[in-house]
Amino acid sequence: MTTNDYLLDGLSNNSPIYGGKPAATPAVDSVQEFRMQENNFQSEYGRNSGAVVNVLTKSGTNQFHGTAYWFLRNNALDSRTVFDPAHNAPLRQDQAGFTLGGPVTIPKVYSGKNRTFFFFGFEDYHQFKGSSQIGTFETPEFRALVHQMFPGSAQDQLLQKYPAPAIIPGTAKDIGSPSATYATPGPKDGIPDVGQASYVTSTLTTSKQYNIRADHRLSSNNSLFGRWTAGPAGTSPVESAELAVRTRGNGVPGPGRPG
């Protein structure tokens, strides 16, 4: 159970699946205001021991208003980190959308000014993000040894088809020679077997969000509104064939020998 309480238009917005996260996160241009209370809660806020985050969505007005936006992030505009290889990790993020709100009007039938309003918001989010990692991989000398001792084997084909990234200078080490038993490697033979290398893993996140709200003023003291929010999102890893096959096991078949 999360210590924070998330509210959206006064109703619970706590995710039943991911603890500590809101179930829905409205697009920025669909938000009218937000309030965060950390202590001295009123009696209506007694569900959680942490903060109360209340977000209110926009409604239409007597005038038609709309916005359009596009936020862009690109690794071409970023600097490298200390863990990045020759180039910084890829990043392509596009966040675009629009909003439109105003009175509900049906020509010659109904005028919603001062009474009935609508608001619509849409956002399309697309992010391709890479993360620089450092892992343990086999050296070119080790690949040559496997090819020499086990030509055509599954290990040989894997290492030849998907060679490791370039080993960082000074990190290669000899962990032993092939042995008859797989429990321990044989004596060191002077051939560097493994070393550290930089590589990049990537994820793709896409989502489309729709926000529709209708407000109706019943009287000077009472009003009614309804809101529909939909925004299914998908996140999936995007890996090269090499990383998909090899980095989940950190890249090396075994200590000093294939298998």
**Residue 64 pLDDT > 90:** yes
76 sits in which H/E element: none
For the stretch 205-257, pLDDT in tens is 888 999 999 999 999 899 999 999 987 655 555 544 344 334 333 333 333 34
Mean pLDDT for 121-142 is 89
* 57 neighbors 211 (Cβ within 8 angstroms): yes
Instruction: Report, in angstroms and rounded to the nearest whole number, the Rg of the chain calculated over CA atoms.
Output: 29
Write down the mean pLDDT value for the chain.
82
The pLDDT value recorded for residue 255 is 35
Tell me the pairing of strands 5-8 and 52-57.
parallel
Which of residues 202 and 105 earns the better pLDDT score?
105
Which of residues 37 and 101 earns the better pLDDT score?
101
Alpha-helical runs (H) found in the chain = 140-149, 154-161, 241-246
